Structures are given as C-alpha cells and as structure tokens.
Amino acid sequence: MKTVNFPFSAIVKQDLVKLGLLINAIDPGIGGILIIGPKGIAKTTMVRSLSEILPEIKSTGCRFNCDPDDENSLCDECLDNLKNKKLKTVYKKIDIKEIPLSATIDRVAGSLDVKAALHGEVRLNEGILGEANRNILYIDEVNLLDDSIVDAILDSAATGINRVERENLSYVHPARFILIGTMNPEEGDLRPQLLDRFGISVTASLPESIEEMVEISKRVEDFNRDPVSFQERYMKNDIYIKNKIINARINLYRIKIDDDDLRYLASRIMEKGLGNRAMIAAVKSARAIAAYYGRKKPDKNDLDLALYFAMNHRSKDVKKPEINNNINNDFDHKDNKDGSNENDKSSKNDYEIHNQKGNEKDVKSVEFRIKTSNDSGRVSTGSGFNRASFRPGSHLDIHGTLLNMAMNMDKSVMPYDLSFKSRISQGSMPFIIAVDASKSMKFKSRINDAINISSMILKEAYVKRSRVSLVSFSGTQASLISWFSRNFSSIEASLRSIKSSGKTPLADALRLCADISKRYNKKTVSFFLTDGRGNYPDASYKRIYDAAEYLGRYSRVFVINDDDFLPGYNKAIADASNGIILKKDENLIFEIKSRIL
C-alpha cells in the first residue's frame, strides 16, 4: 500500500528543526542530528516528510545499496560485479530505516546467516546498518535504546563503515547514512559520552500561540481528509526545497570560511569549554547552511546558527538564534476568475509541428542513388537507396539535401547536394536545460521554450529513460534548479518558479553545467537558451571561451539563440565547446527531435 507523507513545507513553524534536518541531509558527514523535545510536537512527522524531499540516488541495487560511481565504497559483491563488468545501475528513492527499541545488536550490526551456515557457507546476514547505507537511519527515543547499540550506530555514522566480527565471520561493508535521533528528556537522559557523538542537535518546542495551534489543527484535518490534494497544494514548496538541497550538495565544498570566521567559532566554543567535535560540527554546519541559502561564504547569522546546532546538546544555556532567511519559498497562488492559475499558462503551440503548404516549386520523382568508393553500408534495394557509411555521430539530413537539390535544380542527388547533421547516439541520455533568467523581454519566451523542450524529451524519449536537469542563471550566480528527473510536472513547476533578475553570469552557468555533467559521470546534452550577452562578473571573451571549452569535455552543447540583433557570445560558446547554434523559430522542436531522438 502506498502511503502519503505530510509535506515538509506544510509543517508549521519549527524552522530550526527543519533547518537542522536539511543541513544534516546536505552533509551527512556532520554526524547526525538529535532532536530534543516533548512528545506530540511532530518529531517523527518531520523525519518522514524529509524523506519525500530528498533526491533519488543512483544505486547498484545490491543489498547494501552501493554507489556505482564510488568504487572505493563498494561492497565485496559489487567489487566482483565490477571486475566481471556486471555492475548494474538503478535509481531509487531514499528509504527510512528505523531502529526499534527491542532491537538486538545482531539485528542492528549484522550476524552470521544461519541458513547459509547449514550448507557450509560463511555469509553475512546484514543488519539494519547495512540496509540503511545511503538511506535515513531513524532512532526514535534514542535515550531508551541500549547504550551498546547506540555506540555501534554512532561508530558507523562517524567512520562510514560497519565492521562485523562474530561467530568466525569477519566482514566490512559501507554504512553511510543520514542519522536522525529523537528523544524526550522527560523519559531519561542520554549519557554525555553518547550525546557528544551526535554531530548537531536542536530543541523543538510546543506551539507558542493560539493561532499557531489552530493552524496546525487545520492543516492536519485537511491532510486527513484528502492527503493527495493536500500534498499537491504544497508541491511547489517541496520541489523548491528539494532543488536547494541538490544545489547545496554540489556547491558544498566551494563554500569558503575565512580565518576570522573560524576564530569566531573557536572562541565561542572555547568559552563553553567544549572540544574538537563541537568545532568540527560547527564548521560543517556553517558550510552546509551557507550552501543551502546559495551563499559563497557564511554570514554572521549562519555562524550563530551553526554554533547553536553544535553546542545545544554539549552545553547548557545555549540561546536559540533567529533565522534571518525563510526555509520555504511560499509561492503565491493567484487564480483568475475562470479558476485557472496565471502561472500555468503556456504556449498553445506546445511541441507539435503543423505542416503548412508553401509556395516552393515541388520536387518530383527524386532518385536516391548515392554511391561512394568506401561504401560499406547496407543497400535498400526496394527504393534504390544506398545508405552510405557516414562518419560516427552524423547522419543524412533529408530536408537539407532536398532543399539543396531544388536550389541546384538537380533531378537526382549529386555529391554537392548532400547535407549532414550531427546526431547523438541513441539510448538513455541525461539532458541539461540552462535558462538565461536575466531581465529581458524574452524571459517568458525562454521559459516556455524550456518547458516545450523538456516535455518533448521526456514524452518522446520515455522508453529510453532519459532525464532532464534544469539550471537558471541571472544576477550574480548560476543555480541548479532541478537535478536529473523524469517527472515532467515537477520540472514544469520548477521552471515556472524561476524569477528573472539583473545581469547574465554566462561563464558561471557554463561551468556549473560542466560540474553537473562531471558529477553525473556520463556525457550529457546541454541546451543553452540565451542571447549570449554575458556581463557578470565581466564581459571577458577568454573567460566565457574557457568555460565553454570546459563544458565541451563533458557535454554535447546546443545553443538556442533568441536574438540575432545585438552581438553576443553564442558563436564563441559553440566554437569552444564544439557545439551547435540552433535558431529559435517555429521549427526549433522539430530540429531538436531530429538531432537527438
């Protein structure tokens, strides 16, 4: 039975708890989060909601859910499959693995498989730590769990591996998970040694006003009445948060923390008499908070929030800081009189091509008799057409060849009539659509074009399991809006949420697309919808050319030029990346389909 979880963005208040959960998901190396608070404040609801907004992961499909792109963390079975070239790749949603209070150390850490042992095999029966690898490991009421089990869990959280040494069995497997624990201090404390092993913590509180409590009851009632409709109402906000998590993970280690900021963190931690774990947790938290809000370095509020998360469970009288930025993006839902949403209007001519009769002279009785000295293609005797052995990555452009014949008034195809166009190999392909969101009269047109292109890719290429990622660039930075996905509704909602602003950081957008392609570990296809007039941080030809050349190593680039009137860098991008410029006209979608599908 499919369950519907309460939307993360629909949770009222508790912003510190939500931010703590988010930064722990952005960087699981923080070491886990402990949520402290009384019963009945939606601690478990928030954890289950978090799993819905985390992006899919690439997995080998093995029992330990290994990452096929990280050979250093593969289990023994996956290493054997890699050696024999049998390693598989699947995409899956992140699961929640829960530690029950009745769990034994054998169930948690793993033990000898008794059935296999009866047949003379020594095999590991993986425990919850193995199942939780690259998932969420949730411990409700961690203070009531046996200390030895908590210790084993925290050891794995810190090292990223689980070592099983029992009954003549010795086995090591990856155990990297997003650790979340909750506890009610009224039911008992956790030993200080174990408390210190959690990277960060946050104290949740009861509703602070009548209005807040009333709003909570209304939302719960609406959710219970119709969970699906309620979830759809908050879908845009959840997508917004999900995309910020993806973007933050990519940019996490680009965040710079100045020496002055490090000294500030260290001085505050030493004032409380705390040690290295608190300092390391504070630094990681500050970096993750800045990455979530899209900053290049943490500001003062980020540092104070990081200190709170790192010291809350390690010291007394730690004041709660205010959050200066909203965690959710509260989209406006402005409905028109006819009930439609003005943000949902799109071009009527979606991606269909309507044939229209032209005035050109008809070309009749065309014969295809193409022969070359190196002809190794197969011959189609029925039509007299001989498919020549074209160079890899190209194919005959029938439309262009016919036009050349008409212009040259040839009755049969001559060598100089032949027209070829580049073609990308068929199969599963990852696509990146980069939208120039700088302030321009063409901004809305670019959004519609991006929607049409993504719709065409996902609907026409569904069998090939193609995926689309979105990038937006404007103002002073380029941002990842959506990681690779096959969900068109989600992609369309993400595109419509893009807001235009200021300048055009073209070089940054090119480099971001290259980094995304490099991380995806597969050659991508990138579409740039832009007029090519980059002007931030400067209009340096070399800067843009170098960035385009870098992108060309990891991606096949198509530049969709929407302005021929003023000069831009689109030709430089195409030249440097070995890409192609496509003209924005009524044949754009047809042209893209002919080249990639």
**Contact (CB, 8 A) for 530 and 513:** no
Q: Containing H/E element for 422?
A: strand 420-422
CB 519 within 8 A of CB 554: no
Radius of gyration of the chain (CA): 28
Which pairing describes strands 110-112 and 124-126: parallel, antiparallel, or unpaired?
antiparallel
In angstroms, the CA 127 to CA 121 distance is 18
Are 238 and 274 contacting, i.e. CB atoms less than 8 angstroms apart? no
* Candidate list 277, 295, 387, 423, residue with the active-site label: 277
As a residue count, the chain comes to 597
The DSSP code sequence of 376-407 is: -SPEETTTTEE---PPTTEEE-HHHHHHHHHH
Sequence-separated contacts (24+) of 223-231 with Cβ below 8 Å: 223/6, 223/10, 227/4, 228/4, 230/7, 230/10, 231/4, 231/5, 231/7
* Pairwise CA distance, residues 537 & 507, whole Å: 9
Cα distances from 589 to residues 285, 451, 479, in angstroms, run 44, 11, 25
Q: Name which of 11, 100, 1, 556 is nearest 328 in CA terms.
A: 11
Cα angle, residue 525 at apex, residues 524 and 526 outer, rounded to 5°: 115
> Do the Cβ atoms of 133 and 153 come closer than 8 Å?
no
Helix (H, G, I), strand (E, B) or coil at 546: helix
8 Å CB contact between 421 and 591: no
| Token pair 């993750």: residue | 288
Is residue 277 part of the annotated active site? The answer reads yes
Q: Dihedral sign, CA of 495, 499, 500, 503?
A: negative
Residue 92 β-bridge partners: 57
Least Cα distance to 163 among 173, 153, 149 occurs for 173
Question: Which residues does the annotation mark as catalytic?
Answer: 277
